[in-house]
Structure 1
Amino acid sequence: MMRILHVDDESLILELTQLFLERTGEMQITSCTSAEEALGLIETAEFDAVISDYEMPGMNGIDFLFELRSAGIPIPFIIFTGRGREEVVIEALNQGADFYIQKGGEAKSQFAELRNAVRRAVEKHRFEQEVRESERRITEIFHHLPDATFAIDCSGKVIAWNRAMEAMTGVAAGEIIGTGAHAYARPFYDVSRPSLVDALLHPDEEVPSSYTLVQREPGLIIAETAEASLNGEQVVLWAKATLLYGEDGNVAGAIESVRDITAQKQAEKEVISAGEYRRTLIEAHIDPLVTIGPDRRISDVNAATEALTGRTRDTLIGTEFCALFTDPVGAEEAYWKVIADGTVREHPLVVRGVDGGIRSVLFYGTVYRDGEGETRGVFAELHDPLPGGEGSGECGTIGSPLAEAVSGIVAASVTAGSADAFLKAALEAVQDLPEIGGGCIVRYDEHGTLSVVRQEDCGPFDEIVPGLQGYEGSPVAPFAEETRDGRGDPVVHLPLTDGEEALGLLCLSVRVPDLSVYEGHVALDLSADLIGALYVQMRRNREGEAAERIAALHFDIVAHDLANAVSAALGYADLIDEMVDGEARIVAEKMTRAIRKGQEVIRNLKTLRKIGEIRNGTAALQEVSLDAAIKNEISHFPGIEIAYAESGAVVLADDLIGEIFWNLFDNSVRYSGKGVSILVGVREDGDRVEVMVEDDGPGIPEKICEDLSSKVRGHGLCIVRDLAACYGGGVSIGDRVPGRPREGAAVGITFRKAEGGWSSSVGLSGEDVGVPETRV
């Protein structure tokens, strides 16, 4: 119902107009006889439009309109008067009148024209209000984007600069909006220069050499640069540029989002450095070292293991550990004893080399755990037996004190679930030396306060530890040759250092009368250096992981809020789409498609973060019913013909498995229309399960197949590819009808069949996963 205020000093006109306009039931008329009275009514009630005479006692219709517009009241206004002078018409329209209708003539036609004018004015006003509200919400979304973002038009002038950009650069939006000549680059590079948006708006131009290109496709460029600075400090920036479209569907400019990834890049370097450092230590170890997964398959070895077995690292990884030995059953028993007891020492086994030769070894095993303390496998060392110990299962100290200590410390760095657990395990490794009576580790925090890490049986050190306060920060430990523990044994204090300052002390009592002639002293010094270096690295890794967890939490919060805002915007866009027609409907449909694309981007971002968790080993795989996963995603596509016969298959995956089928179904509908027919089939083959999704659409373009075979990430089939790889499977693409690419597509996804038992954590880095083999 439209509420209309009619102002005229002639009562008969008021009554006649009310009679004609209220006949259809779509309008409700309120009448008054002066502009002054009308102003009072507008203050106390809401109206959708005003019909006003021009010539009235006191304030005329034009003055009345001027008062409304001066007060900021944009209500639709129709002049309905018997005065037809051209200058009155022009003045009315100049003051903001929507229509000018002249009284007189045939009443039915006259009031039909007035009714149509009112209806059109009200609908136009409501549409403009909805558009303004939608634009306001979109503007709010833009300003609340977590990434610093700006936009330029096709001429290069800045047209938007959000709050995150203000915070990052210190440049207020009011200072830079409207400027051109690459002014948006100055806060980052101290000079005006082309940026990523310029390369996007001008495809014939190259991306500036200061950027490292990450991804480029029509309408999108993602790159990184290390040549920027913020607040006088060199930073690494991630930037994404996308095209901006106007209401007519043509390119109106470009948007660039910028993110400071300096800390992330530094963390990546430290993680790589830590991995290289640990790898170097493992490779330098003189004894064979083997990491065994929960499926009893080898996940890593060092060069000494290659030499022992005569096989390369690549051929060993993935093979059954127990198959290396002449007695696989005995090796499996040793493995399960480690799982049950936490450690096994000096278990005799015989290795069979690739050339058929055999060699006796002693198996040392300990469990390794994830950050939650869950057992994830076994870390094993294979030592040569000492003379006289063969067959007894017992042996003395293996090798020199240095070899024994390094072996235990390196094993601790691999198996410990935290930096504190590493210190305890490393201390235990050193205390296993026969000449060490007891010990503890004194650790200093950033305030110089000491805390003690010790094993249960570490000797009577309670009287010694308080005297160690005050040595924090010094790379030189107090000389302790005259210090004795409660048993009377001499005590040595060894600094745990990162190379510059002492983070703590390794305190050991030695069962020798004179430390000055103790031959193992150098070995203990080196052990302490190794413990200090690995402890610092592990602590930095944990700090990096904590920062990543905080960043992930922030991402989840922002993604949730952004998803809600986009959903609200989509709701308003759908309302506008229902309310308008013609050209306005086309614009509304384009706005709806753009907002839906935003929803898809948010969904893909969440999926990519979860894929990252799987690659980093922080998400465990579990048994998942294919029937439940596929049927759940089918329910999200009502009205689409999707045929699926239940299979009862159970695979290793997680709660993201649905994203595989959602993306495949969505691609079929997107490229083939709602009339597409989709067929889903399941086939089991040994320890693998293959799901085939076929449609009768136009097939998959060759360009998309090329992208799938590259390292492009983040959309459609690429997400299907990455998830399949994380689950230990792969993707194949073909024609539904062989040799006829335009008669439909067939996409196959393979999974590992779940056989019960272990809940397997993938534990792969991004480099380990890489790009899976994709058969096209």
Structure 2
Amino acid sequence: MIRVLYVDDEPSLLEISKFFLERTGEFEVDTLNSATAALPVLESGCYDAIISDYQMPEMDGIAFLKAVRQNSDIPFILFTGRGREEIVIEAINNGVDFYLQKGGDPKAQFVELAHKVKQAVSRRQAQIERDRSKENFQNLVNNAPEAIFTAINGKFRYVNAAGVELLGAPNAEALIGTELYDRIHPSFHESVRERVKDLIEKQVVVKTQDEICLKLDGTPVHVDISAVPLHGPDEPTGLLIFVRDITERKQAEERLKAAYEQIAEAKEELKERVQALVHSEELIRKSEEKYRILFERSMDGVIIISNNRFTDCNEATLRLLGMTSKDQLLNLHPSDFSPPFQSDGSDSYEKANEMIEIAMRNGSHRYEWLHKRVNGELFFGEITLTAIPLGDEIILHASCRDITDRKKAE
């Protein structure tokens, strides 16, 4: 359910907009007649989107948008009767998600409004996920046990926590912008320059090499270094460098000579484990490929449901529903391809959720369902839902078979 705050100084429009949006079953709409009253309400953070008129007393829609954008990136739809170009430009410049002009066929207008709200909310949720993924990746890199650096034009651009410790710096800022070669022992400068040249010009990965780097106080540290090319938009090719401190290993090499045979055996065992892992991954890949073939070639419609929304389907499903692309189905609720009510008079949206809950609770569930194709044609389907654990969530594997002819015969 999408929670919407609608702000407009026209009570009649607030009332009819709330009616049309909530009638879809996808929205919960709160209304206010002034932007100044809306600002403290938004501090609760309980809304997914804002719809606002432009011309209002005390604070107009643009001023309201500016105030909201000071603290939040919540989706903001400007829904107004004013269509002047300068208003549109100012709204866009201040971060409006969509600009929708009032007027025309009310039904079509509110369908479009609902679509824009859902689109804006979906887009924001996707951005939140991308930001979370980026943050997780940054945390992973910064907390990696090995030192990781990036360098462009021979200067440090990024240093993780392990890199700061390795080079004896007080913080990353003490290294960023300084010369990379200042931290490499002079006896290795020539060989390092040659490998860096090959890496940038030929895109050849620099394999692990034993080098000596220098801490900020000049203390030498024996390290293993590997590097790969780093490409960024509108930037020259840089380096992504992985450095591991091997000082203790170097100091212990003399003592480990007698154990060479044992190390060689351990290396061979590790190689076999890696090969076994590669073989296991290949078996998994082939298994996934077989499942995908069975999924796509099934004569019955097959749909994957996560969080009560369609996330994938096969070609048979598209044919059943009269669709041409999976994009027409993804992220929609099962009731979106059903008449408002089932043949027993129950509400399609509520009953679909009930069927899903039964399948989740019991592991599987089979039932009959009245569907609606894209062209409006109704047909009966026999549905089988199967709950499948997948990582931290449980998804539903749904199969659908057209039983309209059988129902007519009955």
In the alignment, the residues of structure 1 paired with residue 111 and residue 39 of structure 2 have an alpha-carbon distance, to the nearest angstrom, of: 27
Name the counterpart of 1:18: 18
Name the counterpart of 1:237: 223
Query: SS at the partner of 2:46?
Result: coil
Name the counterpart of 2:209: 223
Name the counterpart of 1:42: 42
Name the counterpart of 1:266: 251
Query: SS at the partner of 1:202?
Result: helix
In the alignment, the residues of structure 1 paired with residue 43 and residue 124 of structure 2 have an alpha-carbon distance, to the nearest angstrom, of: 19
Whether the aligned pair in 2 keeps the contact of 1:3 and 1:28 (CA below 8 Å) is yes
Name the counterpart of 1:93: 92
Whether the aligned pair in 1 keeps the contact of 2:200 and 2:238 (CA below 8 Å) is no
In the alignment, the residues of structure 2 paired with residue 158 and residue 25 of structure 1 have an alpha-carbon distance, to the nearest angstrom, of: 54
Deviation at 1:31, TM superposition (A): 0.8
In the alignment, the residues of structure 1 paired with residue 116 and residue 189 of structure 2 have an alpha-carbon distance, to the nearest angstrom, of: 52
Query: SS at the partner of 1:674?
Result: helix
Whether the aligned pair in 1 keeps the contact of 2:223 and 2:246 (CA below 8 Å) is yes
In the alignment, the residues of structure 2 paired with residue 200 and residue 670 of structure 1 have an alpha-carbon distance, to the nearest angstrom, of: 34
Residue among 157, 163, 188 paired with 2:184: 188
Larger Rg: 1
Indicate how the Cα distance of structure 1 residues 220 and 111 shifts in structure 2: closer, same or farther if over 3 A, else same.
farther
In the alignment, the residues of structure 1 paired with residue 208 and residue 142 of structure 2 have an alpha-carbon distance, to the nearest angstrom, of: 21
Q: Which deviations, in whole Å up to 9, do the C-alpha atoms of 1:508-540 show, x marking residues without a partner?
A: xxxxxxxxxxxxxxxxxxxxxxxxxxxxxxxxx
Query: SS at the partner of 2:243?
Result: strand
Name the counterpart of 1:204: 202
Name the counterpart of 1:7: 7
Structure ranking higher on relative contact order (CA contacts 8 Å, 6+ apart): 2
In the alignment, the residues of structure 2 paired with residue 612 and residue 275 of structure 1 have an alpha-carbon distance, to the nearest angstrom, of: 6
Residue among 226, 248, 257 paired with 2:242: 257
Residue among 266, 274, 279 paired with 1:615: 266
In the alignment, the residues of structure 2 paired with residue 670 and residue 199 of structure 1 have an alpha-carbon distance, to the nearest angstrom, of: 37
**TM-score in terms of structure 2 length:** 0.60
In the alignment, the residues of structure 1 paired with residue 135 and residue 194 of structure 2 have an alpha-carbon distance, to the nearest angstrom, of: 27
In the alignment, the residues of structure 2 paired with residue 163 and residue 65 of structure 1 have an alpha-carbon distance, to the nearest angstrom, of: 40
Name the counterpart of 1:337: none
1:380-395 map, 5 Å: none
Residue 33 of structure 2 is aligned to residue 33 of structure 1: yes
Deviation at 1:189, TM superposition (A): 4.2
Query: SS at the partner of 1:38?
Result: helix
Indicate how the Cα distance of structure 1 residues 654 and 200 shifts in structure 2: closer, same or farther if over 3 A, else same.
closer
Name the counterpart of 1:674: 289
Whether the aligned pair in 2 keeps the contact of 1:7 and 1:52 (CA below 8 Å) is yes
Indicate how the Cα distance of structure 1 residues 63 and 162 shifts in structure 2: closer, same or farther if over 3 A, else same.
same
Q: Which amino acid aligns with 1:163?
A: A
Indicate how the Cα distance of structure 1 residues 176 and 67 shifts in structure 2: closer, same or farther if over 3 A, else same.
farther
Whether the aligned pair in 2 keeps the contact of 1:184 and 1:192 (CA below 8 Å) is no
1:139-150 map, 5 Å: 139-150=138-149
Indicate how the Cα distance of structure 1 residues 669 and 240 shifts in structure 2: closer, same or farther if over 3 A, else same.
same
Query: SS at the partner of 1:73?
Result: coil
Q: Which amino acid aligns with 1:150?
A: F
Q: Which amino acid aligns with 2:172?
A: A
Deviation at 1:221, TM superposition (A): 2.2
Query: SS at the partner of 1:146?
Result: coil
Whether the aligned pair in 1 keeps the contact of 2:154 and 2:179 (CA below 8 Å) is no
Residue 279 of structure 2 is aligned to residue 664 of structure 1: yes
Indicate how the Cα distance of structure 1 residues 12 and 238 shifts in structure 2: closer, same or farther if over 3 A, else same.
same
In the alignment, the residues of structure 1 paired with residue 76 and residue 237 of structure 2 have an alpha-carbon distance, to the nearest angstrom, of: 33
Name the counterpart of 1:52: 52
Query: SS at the partner of 1:44?
Result: coil
In the alignment, the residues of structure 1 paired with residue 195 and residue 139 of structure 2 have an alpha-carbon distance, to the nearest angstrom, of: 22
Whether the aligned pair in 2 keeps the contact of 1:225 and 1:236 (CA below 8 Å) is yes
In the alignment, the residues of structure 2 paired with residue 15 and residue 200 of structure 1 have an alpha-carbon distance, to the nearest angstrom, of: 69
Q: Which amino acid aligns with 2:73?
A: P
Deviation at 1:163, TM superposition (A): 1.2
In the alignment, the residues of structure 2 paired with residue 232 and residue 658 of structure 1 have an alpha-carbon distance, to the nearest angstrom, of: 40
Whether the aligned pair in 2 keeps the contact of 1:147 and 1:258 (CA below 8 Å) is yes
Residue 153 of structure 2 is aligned to residue 163 of structure 1: no
Query: SS at the partner of 1:104?
Result: coil
In the alignment, the residues of structure 2 paired with residue 656 and residue 221 of structure 1 have an alpha-carbon distance, to the nearest angstrom, of: 18
In the alignment, the residues of structure 2 paired with residue 615 and residue 150 of structure 1 have an alpha-carbon distance, to the nearest angstrom, of: 30
In the alignment, the residues of structure 2 paired with residue 667 and residue 53 of structure 1 have an alpha-carbon distance, to the nearest angstrom, of: 57
Q: Which amino acid aligns with 2:252?
A: A
Q: Which amino acid aligns with 2:227?
A: A
Whether the aligned pair in 1 keeps the contact of 2:199 and 2:228 (CA below 8 Å) is no
Structure 2: 5+ residue stretches without partners: 292-410
Deviation at 1:269, TM superposition (A): 2.3
Deviation at 1:55, TM superposition (A): 1.0
In the alignment, the residues of structure 2 paired with residue 238 and residue 174 of structure 1 have an alpha-carbon distance, to the nearest angstrom, of: 23
Whether the aligned pair in 1 keeps the contact of 2:151 and 2:180 (CA below 8 Å) is no
1:715-734 map, 5 Å: none
Residue 60 of structure 2 is aligned to residue 74 of structure 1: no
Query: SS at the partner of 1:54?
Result: coil
Indicate how the Cα distance of structure 1 residues 661 and 3 shifts in structure 2: closer, same or farther if over 3 A, else same.
same
Q: Which deviations, in whole Å up to 9, do the C-alpha atoms of 1:691-738 show, x marking residues without a partner?
A: xxxxxxxxxxxxxxxxxxxxxxxxxxxxxxxxxxxxxxxxxxxxxxxx
Name the counterpart of 2:120: 121
Indicate how the Cα distance of structure 1 residues 50 and 59 shifts in structure 2: closer, same or farther if over 3 A, else same.
same
Q: Which amino acid aligns with 2:228?
A: T
In the alignment, the residues of structure 2 paired with residue 97 and residue 252 of structure 1 have an alpha-carbon distance, to the nearest angstrom, of: 36
Deviation at 1:83, TM superposition (A): 0.9
1:595-674 map, 5 Å: 615=266, 661-667=276-282, 670=285, 674=289
Indicate how the Cα distance of structure 1 residues 612 and 200 shifts in structure 2: closer, same or farther if over 3 A, else same.
farther
Whether the aligned pair in 2 keeps the contact of 1:200 and 1:221 (CA below 8 Å) is no
Name the counterpart of 1:631: none
**TM-score in terms of structure 1 length:** 0.33
Indicate how the Cα distance of structure 1 residues 93 and 172 shifts in structure 2: closer, same or farther if over 3 A, else same.
same
Structure 1: 5+ residue stretches without partners: 206-217, 277-298, 300-610, 617-652, 677-776
Q: Which amino acid aligns with 2:123?
A: K
- Cα RMSD of the aligned pairs, angstroms, is 3.8
Q: Which amino acid aligns with 1:186?
A: D
Deviation at 1:151, TM superposition (A): 2.1
Q: Which deviations, in whole Å up to 9, do the C-alpha atoms of 1:93-131 show, x marking residues without a partner?
A: 111111111111111221122112111111111111110
Deviation at 1:29, TM superposition (A): 0.9
Whether the aligned pair in 2 keeps the contact of 1:6 and 1:14 (CA below 8 Å) is yes
Query: SS at the partner of 2:220?
Result: strand
Indicate how the Cα distance of structure 1 residues 256 and 200 shifts in structure 2: closer, same or farther if over 3 A, else same.
farther
More helix by share: 2
How high is the sequence identity, in percent, across the aligned residues?
34
1:174-573 map, 5 Å: 174-177=173-176, 179=177, 183-189=179-185, 198-199=196-197, 201-204=199-202, 219=205, 221-226=207-212, 228-230=213-215, 231-244=217-230, 253-272=238-257
Deviation at 1:174, TM superposition (A): 3.2
Aligned residues: 286
In the alignment, the residues of structure 1 paired with residue 195 and residue 110 of structure 2 have an alpha-carbon distance, to the nearest angstrom, of: 54
